[in-house]
Structure 1
Amino acid sequence: MLTRLPERSPARLALAALIGATGVLCFAPFELFWLAPAVWAGFFALLLRAESPREGLLTGLAFGLGFFLCGVSWVYVSLSVFGGMPWWLAGPAAFLFCTVMALFPMAAGWVFKCWQPAGFWQQALLFAALLAAGDWVRSWLFTGFPWLAIGYSQTPPSPLAGFAPLLGVFGLSALVALSGALLLRWRVGATVLAVLAVSGFGLCQVAWTAPLGAPISVALIQGNIPQEMKFRPEAFVRTLNLYRELIEANPAQLTLLPETAFPVFLDQLPEDYLNALKALASRQNGDIVFGTLTGEGEAYYNSAVSLGTSPLQVYSKSHLVPYGEFIPPGFAWFMAYANIPASSFSRGPERQAPLAVAGQQVAANICYEDVFGNEIVRALPEAGILANLSNTAWFGRSLAQPQHLQIAQMRALETGRPMLRATNTGMTAIVGPDGTVRAALPPFTTGVLTGNVQAHTGATPYGRLGDWPAIALIMLMLLLGLARKR
């Protein structure tokens, strides 16, 4: 395979960018999970052909640029189309963001060539460990952005999904990258992939958690409020009426509305409107959870509030989005060019009790927070249901929405809990504890997704240990890869 690669360095860099761009097909909405080992095999082959650490660095950078420019270019849509930033600033800002993300495979390429061992197995182990470590570091450095971690490509129906309750998404990243690297020795790679697939399929049959109590009826509201209208005062009354009509027509024990469904402070909502919602929830002896703003003095929060037969409860978002929900020090000038309402939220507490609603313990998380599996498990084992309230209208008709649903599938797999998603424009869905999407609404439509959901009890290994098993696996692979350094 190596002899067929281009001899000239510029051609190899162009091929690296093309392979990186192809990697996006492994994720939602394309979901070609079987392609992932081949993509990372191609990256590994190019690194082996690189003649110096500098060339390894450039190969990693080219691969990363192809991957992230195609995979998360929706950042430009958020900044320009909905944030109001001029194109001449939004374009370079989005490119710079993707370049920063590409620094992680770039660093992996450089370190690999600096420390490349002589043996093929050691090379494959080092390569996989470096890429998985990059995915993990991306999950916390600069507040974290683990979007498109390699492991996310292996949600159901991939047989490797069976490893998620054990190792989490970053453990899956390591397995996919290793199996891909081993494909350069076809028989070895095919054997390892077959063993992993059979083992993963077997693990998929393990019931790590058990149903708890009787199922409850749920109604997930998708308002489809255009982002350009969401914060306009003249649209406020229409928004209130729309949500009340949808709730009234779809009674359920647990009703979820999207993030900032009511884009005002809780105490600014008309009292008679809140009483009407409470009465609608009481029809089923249930509760409504909706997104709104809450405040304490000068601090204000992006919150989920419950209303109904249970006492009023509040969950406030803890992991905020840089530039979208808080302004990093020294970047106020940058935000002056963007029109992003309420971009200076305060952080909610790291640990918050699940919402006791509809007779269940529901762990709420808001939008971007479900990207962080080690934070989602904080609510376990008490919570029996996960619930995500999102508004991804900021990203338009892009890859962001199906990618976000795939992330929610991974959280359900890791925890053995059903995940409910109520979004403004999509993807509103019910995800089973096995990571499969049980039902979903078409994006960019107004509607209500109804169904029955059963809470689960118990804990998966990931639910108990978080990312530590994956970190241990990555460290072991790293040590074995460097055991015989050239």
Structure 2
Amino acid sequence: MRPRARGLGPLPLILAPLAGIAQAMSMASPWNGQPQWWLQLASLAVLFGLLERAASWKTAAAAGWAFAIAWLAGTFWWLFISMHVYGGLNPVLAAVAVLALAAFLGLYYAAACGLAALMHGRSAVVRALGLAGAWLVAELLRGTWFTGFPWGAGGYAHVDGPLAVFAPQLGVYGIGFVASLIAFVLCALLQPAVRRSWKAWLAAAGAAALLAACNMAVSHDEGPARPPLSVALLQGNIPQDEKFEPGTGVALALDWYRRQLDASQSSLTVTPETAVPMLPQQLPMGYYDAMAAKFARTSQAALIGIPLGSFQEGYTNSVIGLAPGTAAAAPYRYDKHHLVPFGEFIPPLFKWFVRLMNIPLGDFNRGALPQPPFAWAGERLAPNICYEDLFGEELGAGFRDAARAPTILVNVSNIGWFGDTVAIDQHLQISRMRALELERPMIRATNTGATVIVDHRGRVTHQLARHTRGVLVGEVQGRTGITPFAWWVSRFGLWPLWITGVALTGVALAAGGRRPRARP
């Protein structure tokens, strides 16, 4: 007779959500806002331990789904604030919407865990690679399908950890893959049979030594440091419920940002997303021309967040670049490519949901990919708007030609929709991961935070206090080297990871081995 898998009764559905909550806290902990790489590994190891003892694929899938719902809802719970506090949506409906999104995205991980249960009976190595491959595919599905929403991917917890060494080679999804392998080893070492095996402990020690060696090795050319560029990053802290109100937030924004742009002595001044909250043709007479004239007659430049377009042409969420020699009628222009569902475009069949909220939403036109950077002071500055920095493969698309690749990344954001929450910390870790992957400094100008300067190693060198109105002045040094990640992602996108994940999952499922019966 085939041995039955040892079930755990209802325990998986109790432990899995608790582990999921821990996974959510690992990206940016509630006690200090910093990533906790060890917590990500430990919580994933708990889930994998449950999968190893699951009585059937259905039990495993249910545990994976419960884990994912708790993880994802615990990660982006702040969407409730945008829908209820600022959108006026009924609190029950807002909470249900957050849970529904988490439940939908969690189906990818439920499927991965169900497939992992079908690998029972294979060797530990085959199970480890198969489960890591299935987990990688689930992360890629969440990050790309239906426009993608990879906020809180497991790899972000490692931006300060030992696995960060893999960012320039593999990117955040690759880090998540390596982390899942380590998590499987951790849960395997707790199994009674494995604990008694000196070979297993020797293999684990060898893997730890290899990881330590990777952290001490330099595997590619970072490129030389360039002359420092002085920057001024503006943080208006305009209240979100007033930001688009003509008599309050709009007037405040137009006055404050104009005065800071005029007063800035830095080589480059950057404003947040939609810092100028009106189309150029709607601005007070002479406002735009005077702003452009300031930079036309000085040795300074600015990147300014502003909506562009018309009713006939459509509208874009954009950044314009003003510099000497730039005509006011034809400035540098970057149009946001990766639009936010419900915020910047309305998915089919969901207009009824948008009508329930009092938020200035609309359908924007999508910018091209990639778009040329803004050339200034010997640097090539590549803007990205709000959560566009969540998509490393899209930022990496501009790195195919090393001679034209960006030397500095510039994020302009407004996540005031989500209040004074962990969303600010999470978004900062995302930007830091992009800096690590591409080995480019990232400067961030935001409405409420985090307005920072991040160097090419992902370290925050300058930071402005959050939810304050002020100007962050500092220096940033561009870089020119091309990381392995930038090289392959600019040519092949995420396909190498897709192929790896699908191949490992398929081979593990096809490998021989005894499969336990499901308990009746």
TM value normalised by structure 1: 0.93
Letter in 1 for 2:224: P
State the partner residue of 1:11. 11
Letter in 1 for 2:114: W
Q: Which of 79, 82, 99 matches 1:95?
A: 99
Letter in 2 for 1:19: A
- Give the CA deviation at 1:46: 0.3
Query: Any idea what SS the aligned residue of 2:174 has?
Result: helix
Aligned counterparts of 1:134 and 1:346: Cα–Cα separation in 2: 29
Q: Give % identity.
A: 38
Q: Deviations over 1:351-396 (max 9, x none)?
A: 3111223442111110111111110012223211111110000111
Letter in 2 for 1:181: F
Is 1:335 the counterpart of 2:335? The answer is no
Aligned counterparts of 2:300 and 2:46: Cα–Cα separation in 1: 53
Q: Deviations over 1:97-121 (max 9, x none)?
A: 1111221221111111134342112
- Contact kept in structure 1, 2:35 and 2:429, CA below 8 Å: no
Letter in 2 for 1:408: S
Aligned counterparts of 1:448 and 1:468: Cα–Cα separation in 2: 41
Letter in 1 for 2:91: W
Q: Deviations over 1:285-326 (max 9, x none)?
A: 121111111115241000011123152111111111111110
State the partner residue of 1:224. 237
**Which runs of structure 2 are paired with 1:269-308 in the superposition (5 Å)?**
269-270=283-284, 272-281=286-295, 285-296=299-310, 297-308=312-323
State the partner residue of 2:266. 252
**Which runs of structure 2 are paired with 1:57-76 in the superposition (5 Å)?**
57-76=61-80
Aligned counterparts of 2:60 and 2:143: Cα–Cα separation in 1: 24
Letter in 1 for 2:98: A
Query: Any idea what SS the aligned residue of 1:455 has?
Result: coil
TM value normalised by structure 2: 0.87
Q: Which of 128, 131, 134 matches 2:135?
A: 131
Range with greater deviation from structure 2 (296-305 or 169-178):
296-305
State the partner residue of 2:163. 160
Is 1:347 the counterpart of 2:390? The answer is no
Q: Which of 511, 514, 517 matches 1:484?
A: 511
Query: Any idea what SS the aligned residue of 1:170 has?
Result: helix
Letter in 2 for 1:453: V
- Give the CA deviation at 1:350: 2.4
State the partner residue of 2:184. 181
State the partner residue of 1:460. 483
Aligned counterparts of 1:353 and 1:195: Cα–Cα separation in 2: 42
Letter in 2 for 1:64: A
- Change in Cα spacing, 1:84 to 1:298, as seen in structure 2 (3 Å) is farther
**Structure 1: tracts of 5 or more residues without a match:** 1-5
Q: Which of 361, 364, 367 matches 2:383?
A: 364
Aligned counterparts of 1:321 and 1:132: Cα–Cα separation in 2: 24
Aligned counterparts of 1:334 and 1:243: Cα–Cα separation in 2: 34
- Change in Cα spacing, 1:66 to 1:342, as seen in structure 2 (3 Å) is closer
State the partner residue of 2:443. 420
- Give the CA deviation at 1:443: 1.4
- Change in Cα spacing, 1:192 to 1:441, as seen in structure 2 (3 Å) is farther
Query: Any idea what SS the aligned residue of 1:305 has?
Result: strand
**Which runs of structure 2 are paired with 1:204-223 in the superposition (5 Å)?**
205-206=218-219, 208-211=221-224, 213-223=226-236
- Change in Cα spacing, 1:147 to 1:220, as seen in structure 2 (3 Å) is same
Range with greater deviation from structure 2 (98-107 or 140-149):
98-107
Aligned counterparts of 1:185 and 1:274: Cα–Cα separation in 2: 63
Larger radius of gyration: 2
State the partner residue of 1:3. none
Query: Any idea what SS the aligned residue of 1:230 has?
Result: coil
Letter in 2 for 1:306: G
State the partner residue of 2:3. none
- Contact kept in structure 2, 1:117 and 1:482, CA below 8 Å: no
Query: Any idea what SS the aligned residue of 2:384 has?
Result: strand
Range with greater deviation from structure 2 (447-456 or 243-252):
243-252
- Contact kept in structure 1, 2:119 and 2:508, CA below 8 Å: no
**Structure 2: tracts of 5 or more residues without a match:** 1-5, 190-200, 514-520
- Change in Cα spacing, 1:9 to 1:282, as seen in structure 2 (3 Å) is farther
- Contact kept in structure 2, 1:171 and 1:474, CA below 8 Å: no
Range with greater deviation from structure 2 (338-347 or 55-64):
338-347
State the partner residue of 1:406. 429
- Give the CA deviation at 1:232: 0.1
Aligned counterparts of 1:403 and 1:62: Cα–Cα separation in 2: 22
State the partner residue of 2:40. 36
Q: What value does the CA root-mean-square deviation take over the aligned residues?
A: 2.1
- Contact kept in structure 2, 1:219 and 1:450, CA below 8 Å: yes
Query: Any idea what SS the aligned residue of 1:356 has?
Result: strand
